[in-house]
Amino acid sequence: MVDTGSARISFAARLLTRTFLTAPLVLAAMAAQQAQAQQRLVSACSGVSLPRSVVTDILSPVITGTAASTEAVVNDILDTPILGLLVPPLNLNASGLLAQAASGAPITLQVLATDGTIVAPTDQCRVTSDSITLNTPAGVAIGGNQITGLGANGAAAFASDINAIAMGNNARTEAGAIGSVAFGQNSQATAANSVALGAGSIASRGALSGYVATGLTGTQTSVGEVSVGAPGALRQLTNVAAGNAPSDAATVGQVDGVAAQVAALGTASVQYNGSTRDRVTLAGATGTAIDNLAPGTLAAGSTEAVNGSQLFATNQAVSGNTTAITNVDARVTDLGTQVTSNTNLIAGLDVAAVRYDGADRGLITLGGTAGTTIANLNAGVLAADSTQAVNGAQLFATNAQVAANTAAIAGLGSGGLAGVVRYSDAATPTTPNSGTVTDDGTLAGATGGPVGLHNVRDGALATGSTDAVNGGQLFATNQAVAGNTGAITDLDARVTTNEAGIVNLSTAVTNNTTAITDLQNNVAGANTTITNLGAQVANNTTSITNLEATVANQPLRYADAATPTTPNGGIVSDDTTLVGASGGTVGLHNVRGGALVAGSTDAVNGDQLAATNTQVAANTTAIANFNNLVVGSAVSPVQYSNAATPTVPNGGTLTNDVTLVGANAAAPVALHNVADGAVTAGSTDAVNGQQLFAVATQSANSVQYDRTASGGRGNTITLAGGEAGGVTLANVANGTVAAGSTQAVNGGQLATVAQVAQQAAALGANSVQYGAGNTNVTFNSSGSAVLLRNVAAGTTATDAVNVGQLQTGLQGAVAQANTYTDARLSAALESMNFNLREVRRDLGAGTSSALAAAALPQATEPGKSMVAIGGGTYRGQSAFAFGASTYLNDGHSIFRLGATVDSQGKAGANAGYGYQF
């Protein structure tokens, strides 16, 4: 038995040595008729024990005389240097051996164990050797009851290359399979560094380089293969410990654990509805929430899912749009009120206002039907303290203006029968009513058509306001309504612009009033000038009368400009004076009427001046009446008011506010026949009902804010179309979908959200979900097992492994097992350290010993004995033998005893007995 602990074997050496010691007795024991077959006589480990028998009795007389000398010879042989090469622990001694035989006692030869103790017959035989070395590198083959090296064939094992091992009948390692191992009957290892374990196993794949393993990225390399079976003859690998390193083999238990985890994961995972992967249904009974979803990209063509915060922002934007649209309603309603206020303001415009004819303000034309143009008025000083005389051109201009004023004032004094603004009746709002004070007014033009009302200040845009609004305000409103869908919030700014325009209207009315006041002042100045002129004319008349009476006395004399009433002694100058008797003023009479034309330098007479004075007096009265009518008359439809109380007349104080006054002071006054105002940015024109109707029509079709319980503008908008049912809001731009965004989103954006929701719902239909407590995941818990595909390679201890990793792990485990097996086998073989050549030499030497022993002659005559010596050689080994033989006197019995020593230092012994008959 091989001691695997020390793995050193010297079995052959011990066997040969023990044979040498026991051979003489074995043959005698075989011939002994009294040998007890049941008793073990020979033990290769414990030695030889031969009981007393006929043989011992026969040997006794032969041995008695030679016992001591024979024992000495044997001991000398055992002590030879050659035998000393045997394992030292054998320490054999033949002393007393023959003495026992001579005395008739049982012949016993025992063997010492490696520790020096005697090996008992029942003890386990342990034979060892420090080493066995092959002198020439070769494979080792064990099988067919023999140990062979290179070239072994037949039923024996066959190891064909260096470092290869084959064990088992017909076990083979092929040529080129360096370092390969084949264990088991008919096992084959045909590739280098590969191992075939078990009967019939084949290892033919060998090392692989640069291959891609299933489930792994990158190339892999292996050094060999371990096979425990063959194609069609597979084996299970059992009792495998659970691996814990990346290259360890995984057990079925580990794989089952992974499979259980994968199966559990399958019941809570999200899966595609089909192989097309175009739909995922979430399987929650009441819908499935998708948490921790990153914000999706909000862009044209984006197919990413949006999360709740994004949709919330969208809803907020829609809500904001609803609020903004509701505000539009209130704005438009306010606009209607403001337009009504504009109408009232427009009704207050002065129909007799004086306007410049052009932007250069070089001409002012009074607009009466029989009015006179005042043009190119002389630049004479017209001031309260002026004493300069006016010439005919100035007077002509004054008379012309007075005539125009007379016509205009006549119209104003008729109680509304003339002028731009006139009273009208509600039934015929665009027709003047001959001056009857009513709550309606109209603008009268030259052709009976609409009359433009310009320079209207922005009216107040507030609940209850009766101010007129101008074209600028209406233009802003139209712009806001037109842009309502795209930019609702712009309406606020444009309404504000309208309000500013209404302020301009009030300012314009004030400017008109100021201009009229300036005109009144100019007329008043003209009156003063005419009065002075009258005095001068009177003086001229006196001077002329004196001149006629005293022509001879030269009443008309030249004077200087510095002293115009003092004659200058006859020096011709541009000034003259009348000289009377008393040195005072001189009357000039019978003066013909001077030419009253532009450029005239004729003197005017008293009649002309009287006519002028009469007209001026009438103008003064008319202007005073006009002033009362404009600024505070109870019958004037347009009167000044204060900003704090814009609908209450302020008694004629000039302000930047006017109001329309009707029969009912507490009620608004309608203003009719208003021409279309310019609806442009910056316009201060009043707008009429037709324009407002267009706005109202647009407003009626616009989106409006819902009203609160108090009538104010709420934060909601209700869409109402002309037909029953909901209203479609089309052409809505993509709203900003971001945190804090209040913009509306369109159907395309919501469709994207819906698509994501459908995908999420579809995803949930085939999803895998956690079990109770989120501690496990079961795939298809109510059905068959589920295959989990496309599993990424696990990286941590708790990650799932895929088949590629498992295969790689198995390959690694097999490779590690190969390495481990190679190491263990190498260690075992190194430990066994067979030296086959040593064994061969021992076998050759043993054969030589047998030949040498066979060459020993023997005694041939009864009663004779012979001592002989012989030699032998076999396969390079040699041996010599010596022995003795005796032919007994009975003529039948021959006894022969011999010993051998070979060239390997091994000794042998033989004994024989023959009976001739």
User: pLDDT (tens digit, 9 = 90+) per residue, 821-879?
Assistant: 777 777 666 655 556 677 788 888 989 999 988 989 998 899 899 999 999 999 899 99
* More confident of the two residues 118 and 218: 218
Question: Is residue 64 domain-shared with residue 151, that is, in the same domain?
Answer: no
Residue 469 or residue 787, greater confidence = 787
Lowest mean pLDDT among 9-23, 149-163, 394-408, 621-635: 9-23
**Cβ atoms 109, 97 nearer than 8 A:** yes
Please check the confidence at residue 673 and state whether its pLDDT lies above 90. no
Both 825 and 880 in a single domain?
no
Q: Are residues 826 and 853 in the same domain?
A: no
Given a contact cutoff of 8 angstroms between Cβ atoms, the answer to whether 441 and 433 are in contact is: no
Q: Does residue 903 belong to any structural domain of this protein?
A: yes
Of 795, 814, 831, at which residue does a domain stop? 831
The CA distance from 804 to 754, in Å, is: 39
pLDDT, greater one: 623 or 245: 245
Sequence-distant (6+) residues with CB within 8 A of 750 are 314
Residue 717: what residue type? I
Instruction: Place 591 in a pLDDT band, splitting at 50, 70 and 90.
Output: low
d(CA 685, CA 678): 6
| CATH number, domain containing residue 902 | 3.30.1300.30
Residue partners of 175: CB distance under 8 A and separation at least 6: 160, 161
Write the DSSP assignment of 618-685 as a string of letters. Answer: HHHHHHHHHHHHHHT-TT-SEEEE-SSSTTSB-SS---SEEEE--SSTTS--EEESBPPPP-STT---
Asked, for residue 318, whether it belongs to a domain, the answer is: no
Asked if residue 825 and residue 841 are part of one domain, the reply reads no
**pLDDT at 681 exceeding the cut of 70:** yes
Could you tell me the strand order of the sheet in which 865-874 lies? 865-874, 877-887, 893-902, 907-915
pLDDT digits (tens, 9 = 90+) for 572-586: 777 777 777 676 776
Mean pLDDT value of segment 330-336:
58
Residue-wise burial string across 155-185, b where 16 or more C-beta atoms lie within 10 A, e elsewhere: ebbbbbbebbbbbbbbbbbbeebebbbbbbb
What domain range includes position 42? Answer: 11-110
- Whether the per-residue pLDDT at 796 is higher than 80: the answer is yes
pLDDT per position as a tens digit, 469-485 = 667 766 776 665 565 54
Q: What are phi and psi of 172, to 5 degrees?
A: -140, 140
Antiparallel, parallel or unpaired: β 226-227 and 195-197: parallel
Let me know if residue 497 belongs to a domain.
Answer: no
Please give the residue that has the higher pLDDT: either 398 or 388: 398
What one-character DSSP code corresponds to residue 312?
A: H
Q: What is the mean pLDDT of the chain?
A: 69
Residues 827 and 875 in one domain: no
Decide if pLDDT at 226 tops 80: yes
Query: Three-class SS of residue 719?
Result: coil
CA distance 496 to 379: 45
Same domain, 25 and 77: yes
Q: Is residue 231 part of a domain?
A: yes
Query: At 821, which CATH number?
Result: 2.150.10.10
Q: Which residues contact 860 (CB under 8 A, 6 or more apart)?
A: 887
pLDDT in tens, 810-830: 777 777 777 877 777 776 666
Q: Which helix (H) or strand (E) holds 533?
A: helix 490-549
In a domain, 371, yes or no: no
pLDDT above 70 as % of the chain: 52
| pLDDT at residue 378 tops 60 | no
Q: Same structural domain for residues 813 and 867?
A: no
105 lies in the same domain as 19: yes
* 163 and 66, same domain (yes or no): no
Give the model's pLDDT for residue 167. Answer: 85
The pLDDT score that the predictor gives to residue 894 is: 92
Strands 556-559 and 181-183: unpaired
3-state helix, strand, coil in the chain (%, to 5): 35, 15, 50
Closest CA to 453 of 355, 524, 387: 355
* Average pLDDT value for residue range 636-646: 83
The string of pLDDT tens digits covering residues 504-545 is 544 544 554 454 455 445 544 444 444 454 455 455 555 545
Q: Is residue 56 part of a domain?
A: yes
Same domain, 79 and 177: no
**Do both 144 and 241 map to the same domain?**
yes
Q: How far apart are CA 571 and CA 551, in angstroms?
A: 18
pLDDT of the residue at 453: 61
Q: Please report whether residue 169 resides in a domain.
A: yes
The answer to the question of residue 205 being in a domain is yes
Give yes or no for residue 156 having a pLDDT over 90. Answer: no
Do 245 and 148 share a structural domain? Answer: yes
Give the chain's domain count.
Answer: 3
Q: Between the ranges 173-177, 360-364, 807-811, where is the mean pLDDT highest?
A: 173-177
The pLDDT of residue 822: 76
Using one digit for the tens of pLDDT, what is the confidence trace for 543-561?
A: 545 544 443 355 666 778 8
Looking at 48-52, 232-236, 365-369, 901-905, which range is the least confident one?
48-52
At residue 80, the 3 state secondary structure works out as coil
Higher-confidence residue: 235 or 527?
235
pLDDT confidence bin for 45, thresholds 50/70/90: very low
The region of weakest confidence among 100-109, 148-157, 395-404, 480-489 is 480-489
Q: Which of 106, 113, 109, 112 is nearest to 95 (CA)?
A: 109
Q: How confident is the model at residue 216 (pLDDT cuts 50, 70, 90)?
A: confident
Read off the pLDDT band of 497 (50, 70, 90): very low
